[in-house]
Each structure stands twice: as C-alpha cells, then as structure tokens.
Structure 1
C-alpha cells in the first residue's frame, strides 16, 4: 500500500483522523501553498485560501474515492478554492480583467515575500497577460511540475488541449522574455 493510500485510510478512520491530518499537512502544506500563491498572488491571500482548502479537505476526505491520486484531488480543491477567492474578491473591486491583472502584479511586486529579479518580474508580467486558462496551465506545468494527466483531472480539460495551450504559452514567453 502506498503512503498516500495509508494516509487516506487513516484520514477516513475517525480515531486516527486528527493525527493523519497533521501528517497530511506536513507532507502537502508547502506544495499546496505555492500552487495557490501562483493563482492568488499575495502571501496573505494564499494563506487564507490554503486554510480554506485544508478545511474543505478535512470535511470531505470521506468523499475521496481514489479515482485520482490524493495529490491530484487536493490540487483540484486548492485550484477551485483559489478561483472562488478570485471571483469573490475581483467582483467587488474591479470593472474589467485588465484592472485585475494590473492590481495583482502591483500586489506581487510590493509583497515583502517576493524577491524576484528583473527576469522573474518580466516572466510574471508576461504570464499575467495570458488568458486565464493559459495562465493556469502554464503555472501548473512549469512551476508545480504536474503531469498533463494530473492537470487534465484538475482542470477537466483534455490532455491534448493542455499540451497545445502549454506549448503555446512557452512560445510566447520565449518570444517576449528578452525583448
């Protein structure tokens, strides 16, 4: 039995759930944080979304059927929580998507935890200019190192479409990064 399978078994056992959840946090908290951070941009927002993600995981672990890996299932929850957060907050403050992108970049560059150099800033600016789907696909593949199969489960998009989207993003970045 794999470590994740053992962990899921413990999580579904009421007497072991809290201990197993602590173990789950140790293994996945940082990875999920960075996945979320790429979507919501700032440290404070990522912390809030991460907390909501783990609450949702804790409450719904009994519904985990094992059709995908535990890792993929949790990434999907984190992704959905991030999108919910953005939709909720962006509806409140902005009239159009360009204002959202500009505000997100400003927040990232002003964030005390961002220590990127000029190339990283340019990369973030290019990525932020992508359409939402292309941005998420690129971030999941490049930064999170997810397989196209995992991304297909998380985003509910065919692998061939994901590959096309990713390689199109790579080409755009290659063309713009050193201009």
Structure 2
C-alpha cells in the first residue's frame, strides 16, 4: 500500500494521476463511506455523497496545500459534502431541525442496510435525535475515535467547542436511555 505522501505526489503528476486516484479511492472509500453514512443515514444517499466527495477531491487535488494530513482533508470534504446534502434536503422539503431529525429516524427504521441488536438500534435512534453538530462530533469521537485536534481541523472549530458538543451529546444520549426505561 502506498503512503499518503506518495499518493499525493502521484496525484499531482498528470501521467500518474489516474492510478493514484484509484489508489486513494481504494484506501479511503470504506472509512469515508461509514463516516458519511453516520451523518446522512441512508445507504443510497451515502453513495451519492461519497461520489460527490471523490469528485471534489479529483477537482481540487492541485489546491491541496498539505497543511493537514490527507486523511484530515478527505474527512473535511466528506463532512462538508454530507452537511451540504442534508441542508439541501431540508430546503427542498421545507423542514426545520425537528422534521429533519424525523427524516433521519425514518431512514434509520426503513434502511435495510441498518443491522444490529436492540441496544445498537436504540443508540442510533438516540444519536439521530441530536442536533447536527452534536451528532457529527459524537460519531467522529465515539465511533471513529478521531482525536479532538484532528476534528478541530476537519470541522474548523475550536477544541473547546468540540468537547462541549461531545459532552452535551453524551448527556442527551444518557437522558434518552433513562427515559426509555
């Protein structure tokens, strides 16, 4: 497997760009898929957002300044594409955050690709009811084990704000489980 630096170098050279891009996609598509999936929930929507993410990477690789790692840059693009997708969906259906959360819950219940036991389903249901930013931070920290310093670069927000969002998300999830008892 090629290193990120090797992939970047080859992506920026015309004769090796296509092969390097295939290598990048094969290296990161699964991790990005699951990151996006936790944001948009639906498998079909995730595939669309993932494709848009890689299109944006292809178009903008020459602008990548390598101030952050490749992984961080890809996650930032995937996150932004996911949030843009959700915002466009809200605008198209004229829904607010409450209805948006209902849409996410409905996708969670009807998606044939969602599996797991009752506890996992209840956790996903609790997470789906969080505000967008808290849901995003919780998923990145809890499931993806992304450090706050990396999240800070991906989400372009302060570490303190991220820790506060995570803390509030955990408290809301705990309250959800207590209310379900």
What are the superposed Cα offsets for residues 65-112 of structure 1, whole Å, 9 maximum, x if unpaired? 111100000000001111111111121114322111112111122111
Within 2, Cα distance between the matches of 1:150 and 1:34?
17
Alignment of 1:167-178 (within 5 A): 167-177=167-177
The answer (yes or no) to whether the contact 1:37–1:46 under 8 Å persists in 2 is yes
2:87 maps to 1:87:
yes
Aligned to 1:121: 121
The answer (yes or no) to whether the contact 2:108–2:125 under 8 Å persists in 1 is no
Deviates more, 1:98-107 or 1:68-77: 98-107
Alignment of 1:2-41 (within 5 A): 3-41=3-41
The answer (yes or no) to whether the contact 2:72–2:150 under 8 Å persists in 1 is yes
Q: Unpaired segments of 5 or more residues in structure 2?
A: none
Within 2, Cα distance between the matches of 1:131 and 1:36?
16
Aligned to 1:143: 143
Q: Calculate the aligned-residue CA RMSD, in Å.
A: 1.5
Deviates more, 1:99-108 or 1:75-84: 99-108
SS at match of 2:112: coil
Aligned length: 178
Measured after TM superposition, the shift of residue 177 of structure 1 is 2.5
Normalised TM-score (structure 2): 0.92
What are the superposed Cα offsets for residues 99-130 of structure 1, whole Å, 9 maximum, x if unpaired? 11112111122111111222122112211222
Within 2, Cα distance between the matches of 1:65 and 1:74?
13
Within 2, Cα distance between the matches of 1:147 and 1:37?
20
The answer (yes or no) to whether the contact 1:119–1:177 under 8 Å persists in 2 is no
Within 2, Cα distance between the matches of 1:40 and 1:16?
33
Q: Unpaired segments of 5 or more residues in structure 1?
A: none
SS at match of 2:151: helix
SS at match of 2:133: helix
| Runs of 4+ residues deviating >6 angstroms | none
Aligned to 1:75: 75
Within 1, Cα distance between the matches of 2:165 and 2:67?
25
